[in-house]
Structure 1
Amino acid sequence: MSGKPKLYYLDGRGKLEPVRWLLAAAGVEFEEEFLETREQYEKLLQDGSLLFQQIPMVEIDGMKMVQTRAILHYIAAKYNLYGKDLKERALIDMYVEGTTDLMTLILVYPFLTPEDKEKQLAGILERATKRYLPVYEKVLKDHGQDFLVGNQFSWADIHLLEAILMVEEKSSSILTDFPELQAFKARISNIPTIKKFLEPGSQRKPVPDDKYVETVRRVLQMYHDVKGNF
């Protein structure tokens, strides 16, 4: 395949949203094909496009890539958002894995029962303020640089901003005790490509609603009995 990357997923955040963020931050235009029916998903399966019978799938540089982490690694490396050496890549991976852990807790939230949602929300905010955000606050304070790794804009910064905004959707005051992260959020949000992605009308997806939840259940036939992580 040549030209713009093409993303195959549902019309919502899910596991593909970090890919949208990374491409947008790199200034790369991309196309999307939204799966709205079970038949569309089964066609991809029958065509052999889904190596492990899972989405998301991204067509890029002649490949049909699956597995979200592999897709993200490839894009980060291709667009020089993955550090300058192995040590920096290791740091980026550690920071990204931390934010992924936090974001995964939020990812399952819309699929929970009201009772489980209440418990999950409390756990999300507890882990955000006690386990995850303090790490990034300390990193930024200790090295006194604008970015998390190597004083250079990287995938780690993009992923952290995405995570911060997701948590703020659950609690708008979550950064009250984290001045370094407040400044970081303002800095990264004003990078031109990020600023553009945050504007209305971009390919950034909104907070998942009931319609999205039902589409996921219809297309993927899953998430009927999701339990919280707490």
Structure 2
Amino acid sequence: MSATLYYFDGRGKAEIVRLAMAAAKVPFTQVDIKEKQQFETLRAEGKLIFGQLPMVEYEGNHLVQSCSIARYFASKGNFLGSNEQERLKVDILFEGTRDFNTAFMPYGFLGFKEVLDNAKNTAMPRYLPIYNFILSRNGSNGHLVGSKLSLADLGLLEVILTIEELLGEDELKPYPEVQNFLKVMKSNEGLASYLRSDLRRRKNDERYVAEVKGVLY
């Protein structure tokens, strides 16, 4: 069954949801929220429990909270770990990627160069060595936990793709395991198809920032 994602015409907090659906091979379309009235209508219809986006309509449900939605679709793809110990590791490492990703989320909203400079000076030196070590410790299969794709991998992929696009692949050279991880993720059929498709939204730019502010404020 196809899902419908409601979000702004950008990546933002919906990108981890898109990655999870793509990896789980759940077909989806997106309704771009570009006008305040669209947003207010969703709220008035009671589809946004906390008055926030993203929201996914799927099998009669209105799914909200980006990490909860991602976990839901990760469960569909069996990406949450094969046993209790793996499930714990996946959840911990996924939450770590959310903290890492936070450094890039204000890109454009709090400046472009300013956000990237802050991420380079704080988040990247903190998190990249950790994930490089975890990948190394787990072996050379290019996954954070076990021997197959997990939600933790999807969370890290989101951040690494951002670094590659906004700062360049050279930033990853000191982290060979992370570089290998990126190659492995890009070879995944579902993820590769998504990354080539029109479903992947553009990076933040001035137009996107203006659209979001126009809807919310």
Question: Are 2:6 and 2:56, in contact at CA under 8 Å, matched by a contact in 1?
Answer: yes
What secondary structure sits across from 2:172 in the alignment? coil
What is the CA-CA distance between 1:143 and the residue it aligns to?
2.4
Q: Is the 8 A contact 1:110 1:209 kept in 2?
A: yes
Long gaps (5+) in structure 1: 222-230
Q: Which amino acid aligns with 1:135?
A: I
Contact 1:102 1:128 in 2 (8 A): yes
| Number of corresponding residues | 215
Once residues 145 and 83 of structure 1 are traced to their aligned partners in structure 2, the CA distance between those partners, rounded to angstroms, is: 18
Matched AA of 1:161? L
**1:160 and 2:172 aligned:** no
Q: Hey, what does 2:120 align to over in structure 1?
A: 125
Q: 2:208 aligns with which of 200, 208, 212?
A: 212
Letter in 2 for 1:143: N
TM-score normalised over the length of structure 1: 0.88
Q: Secondary structure at the match of 1:65?
A: strand
Provide Cα deviations, 1:115-165, integer angstroms capped at 9, x if missing partner. Answer: xx4443222012344211111111121221411111111111122122101
CA deviation profile, 1:156-213 (whole Å, cap 9, x unmatched): 11221221010122321111101111111111111111221222x3311121111111
The residue that corresponds to 1:194 in the other structure is 191
Residue in structure 1 matched with residue 147 of structure 2 by the alignment: 151
- Is the 1:24–1:194 Cα contact (8 Å) retained in structure 2? yes
Partner SS for 1:130: helix
TM-score, normalised via structure 2 length: 0.93
Q: Retained in 1: the 8 A contact 2:25–2:190?
A: yes
| Aligned pair partner of 1:71 in 69, 72, 77 | 69
- Counterpart for residue 226 of structure 1: none
Instruction: Output the CA distance in 2 between the equivalents of 1:122 and 1:156.
Output: 25
SS in 2 for 1:169: helix
Q: What is the distance in 1 between the residues matched to 2:74 and 2:192? A: 19
CA distance in 2, matches of 1:94, 1:158: 13
Cα RMSD over matched residues?
A: 1.5
Residues 1-230 of structure 1 mapped to structure 2, 5 A cutoff = 3-113=1-111, 117-146=112-141, 147-172=143-168, 173-199=170-196, 201-221=197-217
Q: Find the residue that maps to 1:109 and give its secondary structure.
A: coil
Q: 1:85, CA displacement in angstroms?
A: 2.1
Between the aligned partners of 1:33 and 1:122, the Cα distance in structure 2 is 33
- Within 2, Cα distance between the matches of 1:129 and 1:72? 23
Answer yes or no: is the 8 Å Cα contact 1:21–1:204 preserved in 2. no
In the alignment, the residues of structure 1 paired with residue 208 and residue 148 of structure 2 have an alpha-carbon distance, to the nearest angstrom, of 36
Give the secondary structure class of the aligned counterpart of 1:58: strand
Whole-Å Cα distance in 1 between the matches of residues 44 and 124 of structure 2? 45
Percent identity for Structure 1 against Structure 2: 38
8 Å Cα contact 2:24-2:76 kept in structure 1? no
Deviations 1:49-78 (A, max 9, x none): 111111111111221111112111111112
Q: Secondary structure of the equivalent of 2:96?
A: helix
Work out whether residues 56 and 62 of structure 2, in 8 Å CA contact, stay in contact via their aligned partners in 1. yes
Residue 36 of structure 1, CA deviation: 1.3
Deviation at 1:219, TM superposition (A): 0.6
SS in 2 for 1:7: strand
